[in-house]
Amino acid sequence: MGGLKVYIQHVFKVLDMKMYAISFFGLGRVGLTMAACFASRDFRVIGFDVNEEKVKIINRGKAPFFEPELDVLVKDSVEKGLLRATTNPSEAILNADLTFITVGTPSAPDGSIDLRYVKSALALIGESLRHKENWHLVVLKSTVVPTTTERVVKPIIEEVSSKRCGYSFGLCVNPEFLREGSAVRDVFKPDRIIIGEFDKRSGDTLEDFYGKFYGEETPPTIRTTPVNAELIKYASNAFLAMKVSFINMIANLCQKLPGADVNVVAEAIGLDKRIGSLFLKAGAGGGGPCFGKDLAALKKFAESLGASTSLIDATIQVNEQQPLNLIKLAEKHLGNLKGKRIAILGLSFKPNTDDITDAPSIKLVRGLLDEGAEITVYDPKTMENFRGLFGNSIKYAFDATSCIKGADCAIIVTEWKEFKNIPPEIFLELMRTPLLIEGRRIYPPKEYSKHLKFEAIGYSP
Ligand code: UGA
């Protein structure tokens, strides 16, 4: 009898488990990763993108860019019929209960946010909602400066759809905190979920969806106003960037202090729980599609309100300068760099991604070219992207050892795992002048400096 009761309760629970159909507008790194993760837990997902080629690749079960673990998730979900990409926007609205907007928000030339992709996604969504009878939830994941959802997103959807927010459709701001290189893991195990809701039904629905997706592992969820949600995203990225610039400032001080090592300082201060150990890795500086863009947008936005931007300014300034410190270290040993052969190991803005957006390697190579150096580069994943930027002005090696062969100086710019295994003897044997400059602190300085001329960010022997 007890067993029957448990079974009946189970049947009721299953019947109650409304499985949401989800759609995404924008199948970039954030949109596709989330789409594939949701589909992998049996949600039906349709992704809209304007790029036909990208849509074809995804429908063939492939990811159009490199992100660890993503290819398998896309392949499985497409094969099971749970994930599909389309260039037809109304298909992605009419067949879904919930739509995430995940288009890019690049910088305008003056650093302010460029909303053109958000606006065109909104127009398409509004147009399709006009023909939809059921209530629909629109969730903005793209990073937008505070007040954008209230002042831009809501009015566009309302005007184009002729429907009212809070009645015929719902609206939430739900920022993402995915890191490239570990985006899949970050979707499955986020530290928190932020829901900026326009009305209770919208917030309840999104929280219910995440409850079904994460089950017992649902992370702490903060429900708040849209403007807070928008600001939380910028404040998070600005704080992380500030931590990186802070430790790079200390690293630059260490270099002037014989006996100092920033890694030891970072480890020790990180043990203070109020400071925390993450994002205290000194090096060639931070890059990527978010840090620079978000800092610039926050600065412009704060300035427009007459608010102080002093910490943002200092963070940007330290970060801009940081890759150029590697050039100073090369000059310390080689003097004038004109005609000197420099090998650059690592081009992506961090390991496990093929993304070179705003990468320190770009600033470094430009600086070295200005000095007249001859440059050879190597990266395990992103050679073609770099070639697109620098063409024939530099040389491209097919592996790390051919990159350093005959070089006067090798500079580590990205901490790819395969570089960690290069012993000092290889540099010694292959280079013309064995000078190794460490921009990511992957080698033990004492051991390597026994064999080579060795310099590292934040290290002073
Ligand atoms: C960043 C945030 O970490 C994510 O939470 C956020 O969702 C994302 O931006 C975004 O806005 O979409 P990501 O751009 O993938 O993620 O890069 P990070 O892992 O934050 O690294 C940024 C840069 O800082 C990299 O170049 C990295 O090498 C550098 N960094 C990071 C350091 O130099 N030292 C550190 O200790 C940490």
Residues 227-237: pLDDT tens digits? 999 999 999 99
Count: domains in the chain: 2
Assess whether pLDDT exceeds 70 at residue 194: yes
Q: Is residue 61 part of a domain?
A: yes
Position 316 in a domain:
yes
Give 288 Cα–ligand 1 centroid separation in angstroms. 7
Instruction: Examine the domain organization and report whether 314 and 364 are in the same domain.
Output: yes
CA of 368 to the centre of ligand 1 (A): 25
Is 461 contained in some domain? no
Is the C-beta atom of 237 inside 6 A of ligand 1? yes
Same domain, 185 and 253: no
Active-site position among 165, 172, 254, 290: 290
Ligand 1 mean position, distance from CA 106 (Å): 16
Are both 398 and 308 inside the same structural domain?
A: yes
- Range of the structural domain that residue 118 is part of: 2-224
Q: Are 338 and 265 in contact, with CB atoms under 8 Å apart?
A: no
pLDDT confidence of residue 1: 47
Assign residue 282 the CATH number of its domain: 3.40.50.720
Residue nearest to ligand 1 atom 3, measured at CA:
179
Out of 233, 244, 325, 353, mutate this one to test ligand 1's pocket (max ligand atoms within 8 Å of CB): namely: 244
Residue 4 exposure: Cα atoms within 13 Å on the Cβ side? 1
Segment 236-281, tens digit of pLDDT: 999 999 999 999 999 999 999 999 999 999 999 999 999 999 999 9
Residues 6+ positions from 238 with CB-CB distance below 8 Å? 294, 295, 298, 311, 312, 315
CA of 286 to the centre of ligand 1 (A): 7
Kindly indicate the confidence band of residue 15, based on its pLDDT and cuts at 50, 70 and 90: very low
Quick one: pLDDT at residue 6? 57
Residue 32: pLDDT band by 50, 70, 90 thresholds? very high
pLDDT tens digits for 330-362?
999 999 999 999 999 999 999 999 999 999 999
pLDDT at 185 over 90: yes
Would the CB of 178 count as within 6 Å of ligand 1?
A: yes
Protein residue with least CA distance to atom 22, ligand 1: 286
Q: Are residues 259 and 124 in the same domain?
A: no
Classify residue 418: in a domain, yes or no: yes
Mapped onto helix, strand or coil, the DSSP state of residue 81 is coil
Q: Whose CA is nearest to atom 24 of ligand 1?
A: 286
123 falls within a domain: yes
**234 is a domain residue:** no
Displacement of CA 133 from its chain's centroid (Å): 36
Closest ligand 1 atom to residue 178 Cα is: 7
List, as one string, the DSSP characters of 194-226. Answer: EEEESSHHHHHHHHHHHHHHHGGGPPPEEEE-H
pLDDT(175) > 90: yes
Both 29 and 74 in one domain: the answer is: yes
Q: Is 290 a catalytic residue?
A: yes
Query: Same structural domain for residues 38 and 130?
Result: yes
What is the arithmetic mean of pLDDT over 169-190? 97
From 244, 225, 235, select the one nearest 299 (Cα to Cα): 235
Residue where a domain terminates, one of 172, 191, 224: 224
Domain assignment present for residue 51? The answer is yes
Q: Decide: helix, strand or coil at residue 420.
A: helix
Distance of CA 282 to the CA centre of its chain: 19
Q: Are residues 26 and 86 in the same domain?
A: yes
pLDDT at residue 19 in the model: 87
Burial status of residue 212 (CB atoms within 10 A of its CB: 0-12, 13-18, 19 or more):
middle
